[in-house]
Structure 1
Amino acid sequence: MKLSAETRTENIDWLQNNQLDLLVIGGGITGAGIALHASAKKMAVGLIEMQDFAAGTSSRSTKLVHGGLRYLKNFEVELVANVARERAIIHHNAPHIVQPRKMLLPVYDEQDASFTDFSAEIALQLYDQLGEVSEEWRYSLITKEEVREEAPGIKEEGLLKGGLYLDYLNDDARLTISILKTAHQQGAKITNYVKAVGYLYDEENRINGVEVADKETGETFSVYARVVVNATGPWSDETRHMQKNRQESRMLPTKGVHFVVDHSRLPVKRTIYTDTGLQDHRMLFIIPRNGKTYFGTTDTPYEGDLVDPKITQEDVTYLLEAINIRFPGANLTLADIETGWSGLRPLIQPEDAKDPSDISREHEIFISEEGLVTIGGGKLTDYRLMAEDTLKTIESLLDKKFLEVDTATIHLSGGEIKAGYTFNDYCEPAIKIGVAAGLSETDARTLIDWYGTDFESVLEGLDAVKKSRLPVKDALSLQYAMQYEMALNLEDYFLRRVETLLFDYNRMRALLMPALEQMAAHYQWGEEKQQKEKEKLISAMERAHLTDLR
């Protein structure tokens, strides 16, 4: 089902001329999950996002669906149990995006270690139990020699053993887009680049809609809804402060930074989760991905531009020091970093001051006197649970029950695998279809891994891309992003519809102009618009490459 620029125009027209049951402000994974749940319940639901979908936190995470092993240190057993069980549900609904892997927890005898020889095994056993992990994927312990084999170059001093345990690889933006596409298929009216600029009120001074601005056209219009939900993550306070009555700030955004290097510089064989070695009670992820390795993250209180949280020299120094402690022979420097990204965690300010790493990742719903519903906190992995709780709140406010649904059974766009079959069962015949259409086997498999069962819709673009100067795989992907994923510009595409800008940076210069030509032809851009979009993408490339720090 197409989700194009034309769909966007149609959705905006519909939003202006119909009253909604629910309007969601925020197109990250939290808002997307709420929109999907509400539309599945046959509510009239709209969603607006002031930037591109997933442009905030939901494209800037560690790109895992994990249960939060470290939260067991803080005895957050209920949180871990809820989130750990969600991993398998999300994998079942989006097997092309969320994939199970055995990850490695090295155990060290060192000062302030998060997990000791004794506690590591207890934590891993409890983690499996809380997540109801099947026997095939249960944890196992390996020797320090086996740890060294899995992680060549890892620090050997103090190394005792390792634990292999289940968590899931993911692409955060891809998952968010798939949820939104599924919500669209269920009837939700969604649009990017539409910003909430004020609230509308009824005679009792209760919010009954939002005044919005279309950032593409500059036009403003009103959207009326019986309930408005603020699902804007780090922007939650800003969105709450637009109300007439003064609102106390509730959010404490913290910044998380990740860096990408070539896999040859950090040749780990699987995801590693380890202490930083800096005695700061922080953990470090080291993750291999498509010929690269990325690592992070920081966790520092943040004040500043929420749209573009800057990576600082302090971030670079901290993460390089940590990675070089754990891999002392790597001697990584800024010159090794190909790209990086910085995102903000939408944490809720606790009553007592704590280290940011100790603040709970539980979510919370609060309702203002004017009727605005805000959902804050939470983790990517529990987006579905956050949506369930939000919809219960909405039904209570409306004093009305809508259709009962269980979103655990709703396959996301691209994940519609027949009952009794696995994703791998789908892949083999799909590759043959791709090869018959003229793709190489490698390109067909790459597109199938990225788009899942939507691959057949991707192939429909073959005729449209015959004149493109892009490699056929990239041309098909770009065409699909414009027709089915509401990608309106090059940054939308390269940063959030595919992973090229972050994980294949060295190809970007070669792809830029052919991609610009294809997009310009599709959208009928003039020279001035083309130049503007080219400059925007180059600026995004420079930010990702940390150009101002070199």
Structure 2
Amino acid sequence: MPFSGKTRQENIETMKQTPLDLLIIGGGITGAGILLEAGAKGISNGLIEMQDFAAGTSSRSTKLIHGGLRYLKQIEVELVADVSREREIIYNNASHIVKPTPMTLPIYEESGASFDSFSAKVALKLYDDLSDVQEEYKHYFLDREDTLNREPALNKDGLLESGVYLDYTSDDARLTLEILKKAHGYGSLIANYVRAVDFIYDATEQICGVKAEDVLTGEVFDIQATVVINATGPWSDTIRKMSTPETESLMRPTKGVHLVVDKNRLPVNGPIYTDTGLQDNRMIFIVPRRDKTYFGTTDTDYQGDIADPKVTDEDIVYLLKAVNQRFPEAHLTNEDIEASWAGLRPLISEGKGKDPSAVSRGSSLKESSDGLMTIAGGKLTDYRRMAEGSIDLVEKRLKEKSGKEFPKVETKAIKLSGGDVPLGDGFGKYIEELSAKGVQLGLPKSEAMRLVEWYGSNAEILFNETEAFDQLHGLNHGEGLSLKYSLENEMTLTPTDYFSRRTDTLLFDHPHLQEIKEPVIKIMADFYHWDEATKRKMSDELEDMIHEVNRS
């Protein structure tokens, strides 16, 4: 079922004319999860996002589906139990995106360590038990020598041993998009680049819809909805105060930063989770991806522009110091940084004075006196449970207001778009078999396999194309297939959408981006019939993003 720029316009026209049971503001993973829950139940629903899907927090995380081992130190056992179990559900439903991956936890004899040998053994045992981890994935410990055999670049000084435990690597933006595409299949009305500018009220001063602006055209229109839910993450207070200006702030956003370097400059064999070694009670991830290694994150209170958090020199100094402490032979400097990103965690305020790293990652569902619902906080991994809780309240209000009732649906069992693939070793065999169809089209095997790994079962759609475009304008066939699929099936409206969130090229393959950016812009200009001014604007936006991310 197409999910394109044309679909967007059709959805906008339908939302103008047809009252909805539910309207969701916010196209990150939280809003997407609610949308899927509603769509699966048959609730008539729509979603608007003022930027591109996942352009905020949901494309700027550590790109892991993890249970939050560190939160056990904060005695948040229930949170860890809940999100740890969710990891396997997400894996079962989107195993082309979410990969079970052993994580190494080095244990050092040093002041202020988050885990010593004893507490690490207790924590990892509890972590496995809470997560209900299968036997093959249960944690184990390596002595000092075996730890260094596994990760030779680690600092040897003070190293005692390491624990190896299960976590999952992922792509946050793609996960969000696959949820949205699945919801689209249920009939949900979805539009990016549509901003909520005000609320509509009924005779009793209850919210009954949203006044929205099409960011691309400037058109302002009304969307009628029985229930409106605010799922805008760091923007939650902005939307709440649009409804009730005097309302107390709910959010305490904190900024997290990640840096990307070439794998040869920071060679690791798998993801590592370690104290910084700076005696600051902070931990960082070091994660290999493609031919790169990225590391982060920081955790600092944020007061600036929510839409555009920046990586500062202070952030870079801190992370380089931390990673060089743990990998002393790397000697990383600013010159080694190939890309970077900053994102905001939409944390719930717990009063002043608490260290940002200690603020709960729990979620909050609130309802204002005028009926606006706000779901805030939480973790990427917990999106489905947050959606379940939100929809429970939505259903209650819909029954009160309209008498409507809806069936119980278990989204635990719903495969996401692209997720109709075998689990475990079976996925490797699936990649081999399906990529053979790509090879028959003339793709190199490595390229065909990459497309199956990225798109999962949706790669069938790509490989059913006899040609990507009449004119590829310099793109290879695989890239042409990817771009065509993205334009027709992923509501990709700008080159920045494509390079930032439909692919991971912007962060992890800067040289390739430079090679193909002009052909991509040319193809998109032809596809959307852009005039020269629009084409130049799109090109400038992409260059600005490249400059920001690649610090060039």
Same fold (TM over 0.5): yes
Q: Which amino acid aligns with 1:199?
A: F
Moved more, 347-356 or 118-127: 347-356
* Residue number among 514, 521, 530 corresponding to 2:519 in the alignment: 514
CA shift digits 1:37-63 (9 cap, x unpaired) = 000000000000000000000000000
1:163 alignment partner in structure 2: 163
Do the aligned residues in 1 keep the contact of 2:44 with 2:188 (CA within 8 Å)? yes
Q: Which of 497, 501, 519 is the equivalent residue of 1:492?
A: 497
Q: Distance in 2 between matches of 1:266 and 1:422?
A: 31
Residue correspondence of structure 1 range 396-435 to structure 2 within 5 A? 396-399=396-399, 400-417=404-421, 422-435=426-439
Q: In structure 1, how many angstroms separate the alpha carbons of the residues matched to 2:337 and 2:137?
A: 33
> What is the aligned-residue identity percentage?
52
Q: CA deviation at 1:299?
A: 0.4
1:277 aligns with 2:277: yes
Which sits farther off after the overlay, 463-472 or 2-11?
A: 463-472
Given the superposition, is the C-alpha separation of residues 348 and 115 from structure 1 closer, same or farther in structure 2, using an over 3 Å criterion?
A: same
**In 2, Cα distance between the equivalents of 1:268 and 1:102?**
13
Match of 1:543 in 2: 548
- 2:305 paired residue number: 305
In the TM superposition, what are the counterparts of 1:8-407 in structure 2 within 5 Å? 8-244=8-244, 246-351=246-351, 353-399=353-399, 400-407=404-411
For residues 251-286 of structure 1, what are the alpha-carbon distances to aligned partners after superposition, in whole Å with 9 as ceiling and x for unaligned?
Answer: 000000000000001110000000011111111100
Equivalent residue letter for 1:38 = A
CA distance in 1, matches of 2:130, 2:328: 35
Task: Choose the corresponding residue for 2:449, options 445, 450, 456.
Answer: 445
The residue aligned with 1:504 is 509
**CA contact 2:22–2:227 (8 Å) conserved in 1:** yes
Taking structure 1 as reference, are residues 157 and 420 closer, same or farther at Cα in structure 2, changes over 3 Å only? closer
Deviations 1:378-400 (A, max 9, x none): 00001000000000111122235
Matched, 1:472 2:477: yes
Give the secondary structure class of the aligned counterpart of 1:422: helix
Aligned partners of 2:219, 2:240: CA distance in 1, in Å? 23
1:459 positional shift = 2.4
Cα distance in 1 between the residues matched to 2:64 and 2:110: 27
- 2 CA distance for matches of 1:411 and 1:507? 32
CA distance in 2, matches of 1:222, 1:270: 50
1-structure distance, mates of 2:332, 2:366: 45
C-alpha separation in 2, matches of 1:420 and 1:379: 25
Q: Deviations over 1:231-253 (max 9, x none)?
A: 00000000101114521111000
- What is the CA distance between 1:546 and its match in structure 2? 2.0
CA shift at 1:314, angstroms?
A: 0.4
| Contact persistence 2:155–2:325 (CA under 8 A) | yes
Question: In 1, are the aligned partners of 2:3 and 2:489 still within 8 Å (CA)?
Answer: yes
- Whole-angstrom CA distance in 2 between matches of 1:435 and 1:279: 52
- For 1:296 and 1:55, the matched residues in 2 are separated by 19
- Cα offset for 1:426? 2.3
Distance 2:244 2:278 in 1: 46
Give the 3 Å change call, closer, same or farther, for CA 120–543 of structure 1 in structure 2: same
User: How far apart are 1:466 and its partner, in Å?
Assistant: 4.4
* Larger deviation, residues 99-108 vs 527-536: 527-536
Does residue 1:436 correspond to 2:440, yes or no? Answer: yes
How far 1:422 sits from its partner (Å)?
3.3
Q: How far 1:463 moved relative to its partner?
A: 2.2
Q: Read off the aligned partner of 1:203 and give its amino acid letter.
A: A
Q: Deviations over 1:314-373 (max 9, x none)?
A: 001100010010111111001000000000000010035310100110101000000000
In structure 1, how many angstroms separate the alpha carbons of the residues matched to 2:16 and 2:114? 53
Q: Is the 8 A contact 1:462 1:476 kept in 2?
A: no
- Tell me how far apart the structure 2 counterparts of residues 215 and 42 of structure 1 sit (CA, whole Å): 29
SS of 1:163's equivalent? strand
Task: Give the TM-score normalised by structure 1.
Answer: 0.98
1:160 counterpart letter in structure 2: L
Q: Which amino acid aligns with 1:499?
A: D
Q: Distance in 1 between matches of 2:297 and 2:424?
A: 38
Q: Does the Cα contact within 8 Å between 1:461 and 1:480 map onto a contact in 2? A: no
> Could you list the runs of 5+ residues in structure 2 that have no partner in the other structure?
none
> Which has the larger displacement, 451-460 or 213-222?
451-460
Distance in 1, matches of 2:428 and 2:43, equals 35
Residues 95 and 423, structure 2, Cα contact 8 Å, conserved in 1: no
The AA in structure 1 aligned to 2:49 is E
SS at match of 2:254: strand
Of 25-34 and 531-540, deviating more is: 531-540
Q: Contact 1:346–1:376 (CA<8 Å) still a contact in 2?
A: yes
- After superposition, the C-alpha distances for 1:7-59 in whole angstroms (9 at most, x for unaligned) are 00100000000010100000000000000000000000000000000000000
Deviations 1:130-178 (A, max 9, x none): 0000000000100111222222221111100001000000000000000
Tell me if the contact between 2:228 and 2:372 (Cα under 8 Å) persists in the aligned partners: yes
SS in 2 for 1:279: coil
In structure 2, distance between residues paired with 1:461 and 1:299: 45
Distance, in Å, in 2 between the alignment partners of 1:245 and 1:115 is 44
**CA-atom RMSD in angstroms:** 1.3
> Aligned to 1:141, what secondary structure does the other structure show?
strand
Q: Which one is further off, 346-355 or 440-449? A: 346-355
Q: For the residues of structure 2 that align with 1:102 and 1:229, how far apart are their CA atoms?
A: 37
1:502 shift after superposition:
0.2
* TM-score of the superposed pair, with normalisation by structure 2: 0.97
Which ranges of structure 1 fall in alignment gaps of 5 or more residues?
A: none
